[in-house]
């Protein structure tokens, strides 16, 4: 069973550990966790229990450009969570790649003999790094 504290550990990993397979989409995009929750994970569990957590529900950020904060998070059913994340801008690779570009990358990966998801992940990382460099004026 997914508990609030297990959810918290997963959130922390994808936001703060570059080796996490989802880091690129969270920490790599600047997504953070509310400071009080970071300092005291039990406060996240308490907030969760007071704000709709039930077994089987998933944490959802209402605005995907913002972090995990009390005013940006809600607990939703698995079906609602999947529906919210499948739309453009939902935090998945469709945020960065249209279908045609993804298909071209997949074809390239096949020709190179590498995993499709690794090439897509590297392409998105390259894009995000370029965007950051542009922001810094380099």
Mean pLDDT of the chain: 83
Tell me the per-residue pLDDT of 49-84, one tens digit each, with 9 for 90 and over.
Answer: 999 999 989 999 988 889 999 999 999 887 776 666
- C-alpha–C-alpha distance, residues 54 and 4, integer Å: 9
How far, in Å, are 41, 106, 123, 124 from residue 112 at the CA level?
44, 10, 15, 18
pLDDT at 18 over 80: yes
Given a contact cutoff of 8 angstroms between Cβ atoms, the answer to whether 9 and 45 are in contact is no
Ramachandran sector of residue 26 (left: φ over 0; alpha: ψ -120 to 50; beta: rest)? alpha
Q: What is the pLDDT of residue 138?
A: 60
Q: What is the pLDDT of residue 55?
A: 92
Three-state DSSP class for residue 86: helix
Q: What is the pLDDT of residue 132?
A: 74
């Amino acid at each position: 069973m997914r508990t609030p504290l297990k959810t918290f550990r997963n959130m922390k990993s994808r936001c703060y550990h570059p080796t996490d397979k989802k880091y690129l989409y969270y920490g790599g995009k600047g997504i953070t966790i509310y400071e009080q929750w970071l300092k005291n994970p039990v406060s996240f569990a308490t907030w969760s229990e007071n704000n709709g957590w039930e077994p089987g529900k998933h944490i959802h950020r209402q605005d995907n450009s913002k972090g995990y904060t009390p005013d940006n998070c809600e607990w939703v059913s698995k079906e609602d969570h999947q529906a919210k994340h499948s739309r453009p801008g939902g935090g998945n690779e469709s945020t960065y790649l249209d279908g045609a570009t993804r298909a071209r990358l997949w074809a390239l990966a096949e020709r190179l003999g590498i995993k499709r998801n690794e090439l897509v992940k590297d392409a998105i990382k390259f894009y995000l790094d370029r965007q950051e460099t542009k922001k810094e004026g380099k």
